[in-house]
Amino acid sequence: MKNWNSSKKDGKIKGKLVGSEIFTGKINLRIESAEDYTQVDRFCVHLKTIDKLKISSFSWSESKGLIIVISLKDAVPLGEKLRQMPLVEQVYKRKKDIAVVLDTAFPATETPVVSEYEGVAAA
């Protein structure tokens, strides 16, 4: 079985980094290293803030993973826009698709993960 989600796990970028190139028309965003649906949903909320961008469809396959098909009415520096989003770690071109590597770091919380047990002092 092909592992479609391996680019972040092995630390190697499999494609050309997308810089300030201008994109227009129909584009496939290949979402990599997504933790769950909630993270993808938050990414889509940020994606909808890009002017002239419309989300056309979602698809999933075992070989490619999650693909979000978008369309851009006007020319947009898509790589720059995507990298400005808080959930995006990296953006690169992978064959005909734009691969978006989402950040899977655990978010900071106010509640400590490890706390003192009753009767045991913290070190």
Residue 16 pLDDT > 80: yes
- Confidence at residue 120, expressed as pLDDT on a 0 to 100 scale: 52
- Tell me which of 1 and 80 has the higher pLDDT: 80
Report residue 5's pLDDT band, with 50, 70 and 90 as the boundaries: very low
pTM for this structure? 0.72
SS3 letters across the chain = CCCCCHHHHCCCCCCEECCCCCEEEEEEEEEECCCCHHHHHHHHHHHCCCCCEEEEEEEEECCCEEEEEEEEEEEECHHHHHHCCCCEEEEEEECCEEEEEECCCCCCCCCCCCCCCCCCCCC
Residue 81 has pLDDT above 70, yes or no: yes
| pLDDT over 70 percentage in the chain | 73
